[in-house]
Amino acid sequence: MPTAFNPDGDEMNDRFLPISDCRFIQYEFSIYDRWGEQVFFTEDPTESWSGEHLGSKADGGAYGWKLIYTADAEGKIVEDQLNGKVLLIR
C-alpha cells in the first residue's frame, strides 16, 4: 500500500488504491478521517480514492484505511483484513 499521495492533477500519485496482482473474489476498501468518519468506500478493486469527500477536496493530513478481501493468488484462496494510514498531501 502506498503511504502518501498528492491529488494535484499532475497524473502522478493522484489517486490512492491497493496495488495487487491477485484476482479479487470479494473486496471492501474504506477510508476514514481522523474522527472515524468514513470518507470513501468501494467494493470495486479498480476504483480508487481521489482525495475528495462529498464532492469537495478533503483536507490534507492522515487518513486511516481498511481493506477486507478474498483473493485468488495463483490458485490459492487468500482471505485477509488489513489496515493502515495514508497521508493526503495538499
Q: Tell me whether residue 38 is in a domain.
A: yes
Q: Tell me whether residue 90 is in a domain.
A: yes
Beta bridge partners of 85: 64
Q: Tell me whether residue 36 is in a domain.
A: yes
- Write the DSSP string, 24-88: EEEEEEEEE-TTS-EEEEES-TT--B-SEETTEEPPSEEEEEEEEEEEEETTEEEEEEEEEEEEE
Q: Tell me whether residue 37 is in a domain.
A: yes
Domain that holds residue 87: 1-9+19-49+57-64+73-90
pTM: 0.92
pLDDT digit string (tens) for the chain, length 90 residues? 999 999 999 989 999 999 998 999 999 999 999 999 999 999 999 999 999 999 999 999 999 999 999 999 999 999 999 999 999 999
Q: Tell me whether residue 79 is in a domain.
A: yes
Q: What is the total count of domains within the chain?
A: 1
Q: Tell me whether residue 80 is in a domain.
A: yes
How many Cβ atoms sit within 10 Å of the Cβ of residue 70? 13
Q: Tell me whether residue 14 is in a domain.
A: no
